[in-house]
Amino acid sequence: MFKKILIANRGEIACRVAATAARLAIRTVAVYSDADAGAKHVQACDEAVHIGGSAPKDSYLRWEKIIEVAKATGAQAIHPGYGFLSENEAFARACAVAGLVFIGPPPSAILAMGLKAESKQLMEKAGVPLVPGYHGSGQGAALLQSEADRIGYPVLIKASAGGGGKGMRAVDKSEDFADALASCKREAINSFGDDAVLIEKYVQRPRHIEIQVFGDTQGNYVYLFERDCSVQRRHQKVLEEAPAPGMTQAMREQMGAAAVAAARAVNYVGAGTVEFIVEQKPDGSMTFFFMEMNTRLQVEHPVTEAITGLDLVEWQLRVASGEPLPLQQSELKINGHAIEARICAETPDNNFLPATGTLHVYGLPPCTTFALANQGVRVDSGVRQGDTISPFYDSMVAKLIVHGSTREEALARMDAALMQTHIVGLATNVQFLRHVVGSASFATAQLDTALIPREADVLFNQDKVGLPLAAAALVAHTLDQEARKVQVADAQGWIDPWARRDGWRSHGASLRSFSAVYQEQPELLQLTRAHTKGLLLQTQGKTEPLQFERLKKDGLSGALDITFGNQRIQAQVYDHGEVLHVFTPLGATTITRVDALAHAGDTHSEGGRLTAPMPGKVVSFAVKAGDVVKKGQPLAIMDAMKMEHTIAAPADGVVAELLFAPGDQVTEGAELLRLELPEKATA
């Protein structure tokens, strides 16, 4: 076994690998960029070495520098994690030349499976079923258009060297193909340095089921069962679970055998994932087609660990050091059900636009950091409270994994764990994940890659709390804070009654107003304190009695037990500037407490400005100065956090000026172009 390894990655996967290495008494070396100087993975390892600037190309993709660091620190092997260099055949070869073990498959396997078109041809020879499509080397636009027309729409364009949904577009009709192809090629060249694509028939209501495989240097292979990864947005996974609901033992064995055949065909070593598209027919039967092989550990590997009780990183280390597979196929068993949710910094209600910011509050459910006991909760995370989610890397904050004896238990445990996940400081998808887990389709395992758009009405723009409870939480939290600040006893234990700020009167009632903004609408809240009736709160013209008490005494942000009218709820409230973040069992929401004096004179007119929603790079403009545009028309394309984002016209108008050029880096809020609105254009 190795004595020291270098982890050529960052974030939660670097922390994850370091945890197993520490358990096996293997010393670890971290590498880090400028942006990650204080990152969690740096502290998780025994040593850490700075390797360059914040952008991946200046640090985590500098494989020559990484190899230099590995040799200088005495590391015997390099674990690439996933992403970055994990599927880089040149890096794997360079490790071998430098006398270092690449903890992954041989370079030949990476090369064979790295290009989707070539891998499809290889799998066809190995007898693995394929989706009808075009996997040829010809890449002319006219040829690709004719092949798509031949296959029949809808088709899926996929970057041949890609992954993670980048360089991938579904096309419903022939006239949309050219624009989609151009976008795919542009994104593919930016992400992978290769704009080659393949085209496949787009299977209607497909399921995405993958098989975890392992091979060793002695030629032994096993599959560690399947994972269902059908719930996706932008072709990227949101929720994963194991085993796949509805999977029969016969189907599992067929898919497992096909996955092992794929691994054997390229003499695979280590952990890999063979991904299949599964078509579910009206009679309930399923047909599977090879999609691709990921020659690395997957983001969703913890659900496989949960149902097998195995540490897959340990298996990677043992196999890479020359040991045989720890278990044979007959010794592998499925225990219970596991689900993983990817918690990301993004705004689901705004087309999942990635978000950046500081984790001012990062509250997690009671959990383990790695060793997942049966029917437990696990969190894999590469950040801590106070850390910043930057625009340089992907938007994933953490992975929340639950395990139960049945799928129903796992579902309940996942909802409870998401409810206990409190993040303040940037937008996340936590509440969206709760909506997905609670949706009819997911709860009843009606899974396919269209689940999210199909359930859109119950997934997006959902506020389960509502103004009355949000207002009650605002008032209760404000009064509680005020009381705790002034009700301080002196040395004799006496509290000055005249210092109270609770509105108490010797006779009559007191009235207090609170200005708030909820769901972008101004609200006036009226609180009456009466001797006989206690607190009465008026919202939207309706008055109800209000009672509350603090459940925890460990800080001003403790949970409150609130009764408002006929509703009783526990709420955890956090201040973030004027915005109050309210977390309840029903869901979470925000309400803004407005200081009217502080905002006197504010103006909010933006005119015809169009600004960058987040830091990134301008890819292209679709218009020029003087063009007449319609509301919703694409104006510009930005690249941020590894994804392209289209900036559209908010209204009809005329383009007055372009303020940047393609290739320019822009900060969040930077004005990209100016529009003259109709009244200005005709003035």
Residue 647 lies in a domain: yes
- 663-678 mean pLDDT: 84
Q: Which residue among 312, 335, 358 closes a domain?
A: 335
Tell me: do 254 and 271 sit in the same domain. Answer: yes
Number of independent structural domains in the chain: 6
From the CB of residue 122, how many other CB atoms can be counted at a distance below 10 Å?
A: 18
For residue 79, give Cα distances in angstroms to 40, 313, 316, 618. Answer: 17, 10, 9, 34
From the CB of residue 504, how many other CB atoms can be counted at a distance below 10 Å?
A: 11
CB 486 within 8 A of CB 533: no
Tell me: do 340 and 415 sit in the same domain. Answer: yes
Rounded to whole angstroms, how far apart are CA atoms 26 and 5?
7
pLDDT tens for 487-544 read 555 566 666 665 555 555 556 678 999 999 999 899 999 999 987 678 999 998 899 9
pLDDT tens for 405-421 read 999 999 999 999 999 99
pLDDT over 50 at 315, yes or no: yes
Residue in the block written with tokens 């905002």: 599
CB 141 within 8 A of CB 178: yes
Residue 56 lies in a domain: yes
Domain with residue 516: its CATH number is: 3.30.700.40
Residue 603 lies in a domain: no
Tell me: do 28 and 90 sit in the same domain. Answer: yes
| Model pLDDT, residue 240 | 98
| Model pLDDT, residue 448 | 94
Give the distance from CA 622 to its chain's centroid. Answer: 29
Rounded to whole angstroms, how far apart are CA atoms 683 and 681?
6
Residue 587 lies in a domain: yes
Rounded to whole angstroms, how far apart are CA atoms 395 and 356?
8
Tell me: do 146 and 243 sit in the same domain. Answer: no
CB 109 within 8 A of CB 268: yes
pLDDT over 50 at 385, yes or no: yes
pLDDT tens for 264-310 read 999 999 999 999 999 887 777 888 999 889 999 999 999 999 999 99
Tell me: do 329 and 214 sit in the same domain. Answer: yes
pLDDT over 90 at 669, yes or no: no
| Model pLDDT, residue 454 | 94
Tell me: do 300 and 345 sit in the same domain. Answer: no
pLDDT over 60 at 680, yes or no: no
- 29-54 mean pLDDT: 97
Tell me: do 422 and 361 sit in the same domain. Answer: yes
Residue in the block written with tokens 């922390």: 15
Domain with residue 636: its CATH number is: 2.40.50.100
Catalytic residue among 296, 318, 413, 434: 296
pLDDT over 60 at 221, yes or no: yes
Q: What is the dihedral of CA 228, 233, 236, 241, to 10 degrees?
A: -20
pLDDT tens for 113-136 read 987 777 888 888 888 888 888 988
CB 426 within 8 A of CB 258: no
Helices 89-97 and 63-73, packing angle to 10 deg: 30
Residue 518 makes CB contacts below 8 A (sequence gap 6+) with 467, 470, 471, 591, 592
Tell me: do 211 and 307 sit in the same domain. Answer: yes
Q: Which residue among 295, 319, 335 closes a domain?
A: 335
Question: Lowest-confidence range among 21-25, 217-221, 472-476, 677-681?
Answer: 677-681
Rounded to whole angstroms, how far apart are CA atoms 211 and 41?
29
pLDDT over 90 at 616, yes or no: no
Tell me: do 439 and 342 sit in the same domain. Answer: yes
Rounded to whole angstroms, how far apart are CA atoms 215 and 352?
37
- 102-112 mean pLDDT: 96
Share in percent of the chain as helix, strand, coil (round to 5): 30, 35, 40
For residue 489 the two structure tokens come to 């006893």
Residue 122 lies in a domain: no
Could you tell me which of 456, 228, 244 has the C-alpha nearest to residue 352? 456
pLDDT tens for 577-602 read 899 999 999 999 999 998 755 544 44
Amino acid, single-letter form, for residue 466: G
pLDDT tens for 149-172 read 999 999 999 998 877 678 899 999
| Model pLDDT, residue 375 | 61
pLDDT over 50 at 61, yes or no: yes
CB 284 within 8 A of CB 200: no
pLDDT over 80 at 476, yes or no: yes
Residue 109 lies in a domain: no
Residue in the block written with tokens 């709420």: 571
Rounded to whole angstroms, how far apart are CA atoms 289 and 121?
13
pLDDT band at 610 (very low <50, low <70, confident <90, very high): confident
Q: Which residue among 185, 201, 217 closes a domain?
A: 201
Residue 126 lies in a domain: no
pLDDT over 50 at 609, yes or no: yes
Rounded to whole angstroms, how far apart are CA atoms 368 and 306?
12
Q: What are phi and psi of 29, to 5 degrees?
A: -120, 125
Give a three-class secondary structure readout of 472-517: HHHHHHHHHHHHHHHCCCCCCCCCCHHHCCCCCCCCCCEEEEEEEE
| High-pLDDT (> 70) share of the chain, % | 91
Domain with residue 394: its CATH number is: 3.30.470.20
Residue 419 makes CB contacts below 8 A (sequence gap 6+) with 434, 583, 585
Rounded to whole angstroms, how far apart are CA atoms 139 and 155?
16
- 362-379 mean pLDDT: 76
CB 637 within 8 A of CB 187: no
| Model pLDDT, residue 10 | 97
| Model pLDDT, residue 573 | 95
From the CB of residue 581, how many other CB atoms can be counted at a distance below 10 Å?
A: 21
What is the DSSP annotation of 299-350? TTHHHHHHHHT--HHHHHHHHHTTPPPSS-GGG----SEEEEEEEESEEGGG
Tell me: do 285 and 307 sit in the same domain. Answer: yes
342 is catalytic: no
| Model pLDDT, residue 682 | 41
219: left (phi over 0), alpha (psi -120 to 50) or beta: left
Residue 280 makes CB contacts below 8 A (sequence gap 6+) with 205, 206, 207, 286, 448
Residue 681 makes CB contacts below 8 A (sequence gap 6+) with 653, 654
Amino acid, single-letter form, for residue 631: K
CB 410 within 8 A of CB 339: yes
Direct distance between the N- and C-terminal alpha carbons of the chain, in angstroms, rounded to an integer: 77
CB 230 within 8 A of CB 451: yes
- Under DSSP, the state recorded for 390 is -
CB 402 within 8 A of CB 376: yes
Residue 599 lies in a domain: no
Out of 89-98, 475-484, 496-505, 532-541, give the one with best mean pLDDT: 89-98
Tell me: do 511 and 553 sit in the same domain. Answer: yes
Look up the domain containing 647 and give its range: 609-681
Tell me: do 329 and 212 sit in the same domain. Answer: yes
